[in-house]
Amino acid sequence: MGGSGIVVLDGRVINDRFPGIGRYAYRLLEAILALEPGLEVVLLYTPALPNRRWDLRQLMGSPRLRLVPVSIPPFHPAEHLLIPWMLRRWPEALVHVPHYAVPLGLLTRSGPLVVTLLDLIPLRLTEAWSALHRKVYHLWHRLVLARARALFALSEATRQDLLRFFGPIRPPVIITPAAADPCYVPRPPQEVAAIRRRYGLPSSYALYVGINKLSKNLDRLLEAWRRVRGRLRANGDPPDLILAGPWDPRYPLRLGEGVRHLGMVPEGELPALYTGARLFVFPSLWEGFGLPVLEAMACGVPVACSDIPALREVAGEAARFFDPRDVEGMARAIEEAWDRAEDPAWRARCRTQAARFSWEETARRTLEGYRRAMDSG
């Protein structure tokens, strides 16, 4: 690579608080180190934050990876001064921030800056955010677009949103999609049986994995499930809808009969939880990517999901799509998908679609973006 050949990755998001961004940063770094072992990488991380998912020690086999502890977590006001002050040791290094909220002090730094923009949901779903939040969010993006030498987006849908809300932009936008981790494959029956016993799951269930924020549209999913559950049969009994993932108390939901929330499920148990599901349902109003859809498909589980651009990119022709704002249409789609869910050909198409995404290819595209940013001056 040109320039200094040093990359500083802001990996302070690799912790339990940021499961999506943390996974992206960790898996991307892992793949980059495997592809380009001669690249010197400085990883900023916050050891005080709980991190039960990603073992940074597994990356220490790379002789050119340097872990630098930072006491200030992401989004703390002090980061705007502390992070640039720390990076004075590498004045010409390329800095990669994996989210839009770049510490403001980095925007005046002379070295190259690249940024990953995961989505623009606050600008898409204005009803879920205050006017002040949206103004700050828009302004911060304007500052990043003016300073970054390259941008990474997880989908073409996000790139199109950038053009829609900001018009022609100077830095190149490189599509670097996420991928299901290698552990997401159909798990053996004994593993699935163990998960059912551990959580007291029925023999047949539909599954949702994610948080309960407004953009995830769980209120409509629960209403659709209430309408359709009595028409679904598996082994003679109505099935359950299982929700797994963190719960934000700001968005309470009345789960109702036939719905259970498991909370956070350990990373190592998720593949078996997916595999045991008859159907995976993902009703988001908007996404920048939609990794749970890919994880379910990698486990061979049929998917019914929202007909939105990012999920069309992720699921291809392998999913049953529905309008996420149409409750009755969602219920019909769930019923049709449930009836077809044991079709081996559909399950095979799901696995084939998931296999089109890989962290190795994402790392290749990212490294090319690094080269362009370093060479652009």
- For the record, the structure tokens of 45 come out as 């991380």
The pTM of this model reads 0.92
Contacts 24+ apart (CB under 8 A), 346-351: 346/302, 346/318, 347/300, 347/301, 347/302, 348/300, 349/317, 349/318, 350/296, 350/297, 350/298, 350/300, 350/301, 350/302, 350/303, 350/318, 350/319, 351/186, 351/297, 351/298, 351/300
| Residues ≥6 apart with Cβ < 8 Å to 144 | 100, 102, 107, 115, 117, 151
pLDDT at 125 over 60: yes
Residue 148 Cα to chain centre, angstroms? 22
Q: What pLDDT was estimated at residue 377?
A: 65
Three-state secondary structure call for residue 99: coil
Residue with tokens 């709980």: 50
CA gap 338, 278 in Å, rounded: 7
| Residues ≥6 apart with Cβ < 8 Å to 343 | 302
| Residues ≥6 apart with Cβ < 8 Å to 256 | 222, 225, 226
pLDDT at 2 over 50: no
Average pLDDT value for residue range 142-153? 96
Model confidence pLDDT, tens digit, residues 56-111: 888 887 788 999 999 999 999 999 999 999 999 999 999 999 999 999 999 999 89
Model confidence pLDDT, tens digit, residues 268-316: 999 999 999 999 999 999 999 999 999 999 999 999 999 999 999 999 9
Q: Do 375 and 2 meet the contact criterion of CB atoms below 8 Å apart? A: yes
Q: Which domains does the chain have, with CATH numbers?
A: 6-179+358-376 (3.40.50.2000), 189-354 (3.40.50.2000)
Q: What pLDDT was estimated at residue 235?
A: 65
CA gap 38, 32 in Å, rounded: 10
Q: How confident is the model at residue 228 (pLDDT cuts 50, 70, 90)?
A: very high
